[in-house]
Amino acid sequence: MKTILKVQNLCKSFEDTQVLNNINFEVEEGEFIAIMGQSGSGKSTLLYSISGMDRPTSGNVLLCGKDISKLDDEKTSEVRLKQMGFIFQHSYLLKNLSIRDNIVLPGFKLGKLSREQVNQNADTLMVKTGIDSVAEHDIKKVSGGQLQRAAICRALINQPDILFGDEPTGALNSSTSREVLDIINAVNTEGTTVIIVTHDVKVAARAGTVIFLMDGNIHDKLTLGKHDGDEEKTLFREKRLYEWLEEKAF
């Protein structure tokens, strides 16, 4: 297995408040990592610091062996556009564009493929995620679940090495959340590395490894192993994770 992301002695402070305190971990290609912890423990800050959305105060973030923590803003945007996809609690799609136009935008921006090829890739993604029927719809005319699927398609349009998510199911009801999770699982099974922040046990139980943050430190890690989608095993994983979290008074 190849290491895709290596985080070394990462610290992050805002003015004189230290939020992340010497974080070290490695992610192998194709892994699914969930980051959990109390509100305010530094989960989002960690995700942003390892994905170029924010700059660490000190330490290194190696993506495929290259330190991305010291790149200038332009190079950082390029790495993010080429190698990373992002999903958040809200989809942040552009209001005056259709679902399709939102999805293809990062593909056009990267400019690696022709517009036709980008459109074809968008079609494939929309079929996979079940939103092809609303491709030309205004984003105000589709459901929250469809918006989040579109956000996933947009995140995947440039075939990123890593898909990052910050509470990607946080605004969805449980059945929609499950559908979105199944999509994230499928993306991971096809080889994309996934790193998501979540407070939801059902989400984290899909991950191979769960990292528990406490006061800006990695307090503990739980290895669940690859999830194969089996219903019974899912329940067992959730139970195991509940027990592990209970010990932490989560």
Q: Which residues bind ligand ADP (CB under 6 A)?
A: 14, 19, 37, 39-45
Beta strands across the sheet bearing 17-28 = 17-28, 3-14, 58-63, 66-67
Provide the 8-state DSSP code for 30: T
Query: What whole-number distance in Å separates Cα of residue 5 and Cα of residue 17?
Result: 26
Looking at residues 132 to 171 of the shown chain, list those that interact with Mg ion (rule: CB under 5 A).
none
What is the nearest approach in angstroms of ligand ADP to the Cβ of residue 216? 7
* Residue 40 binding partner per list ligand ADP, Mg ion, none, with a CB distance cut-off of 5 to 8 Å that depends on partner kind: ligand ADP
Question: How crowded is residue 41: how many other Cβ atoms within 10 Å of its Cβ?
Answer: 20
Comparing CA positions, the residue from 39, 141, 164 lying closest to residue 93 is: 141
Inter-residue contact 241 to 209 (CB < 8 Å): no
Q: Closer to Mg ion at the Cβ: 44 or 188? A: 44
Category of 9 on φ-ψ map: left (φ > 0), alpha (ψ -120 to 50) or beta: left
What is the nearest approach in angstroms of Mg ion to the Cβ of residue 213? 10
Query: What whole-number distance in Å separates Cα of residue 120 and Cα of residue 128?
Result: 12
* Residue 196 binding partner per list Mg ion, ligand ADP, none, with a CB distance cut-off of 5 to 8 Å that depends on partner kind: none
What is the nearest approach in angstroms of ligand ADP to the Cβ of residue 213? 7
* Residue 37 binding partner per list Mg ion, ligand ADP, none, with a CB distance cut-off of 5 to 8 Å that depends on partner kind: ligand ADP
Q: Closer to ligand ADP at the Cβ: 40 or 111? A: 40
Residues 20-49, mask of contacts with Mg ion (x by CB under 5 A):
------------------------x-----
Query: What whole-number distance in Å separates Cα of residue 73 and Cα of residue 66?
Result: 16
Comparing CA positions, the residue from 206, 127, 111 lying closest to residue 165 is: 206
Q: Closer to Mg ion at the Cβ: 44 or 158? A: 44
Query: What whole-number distance in Å separates Cα of residue 132 and Cα of residue 84?
Result: 23
What is the nearest approach in angstroms of ligand ADP to the Cβ of residue 250? 12
What is the nearest approach in angstroms of Mg ion to the Cβ of residue 116? 39
Q: Closer to ligand ADP at the Cβ: 146 or 169? A: 169
What is the nearest approach in angstroms of ligand ADP to the Cβ of residue 39? 4
Q: Residues in the site for Mg ion, rule: CB under 5 A?
A: 44
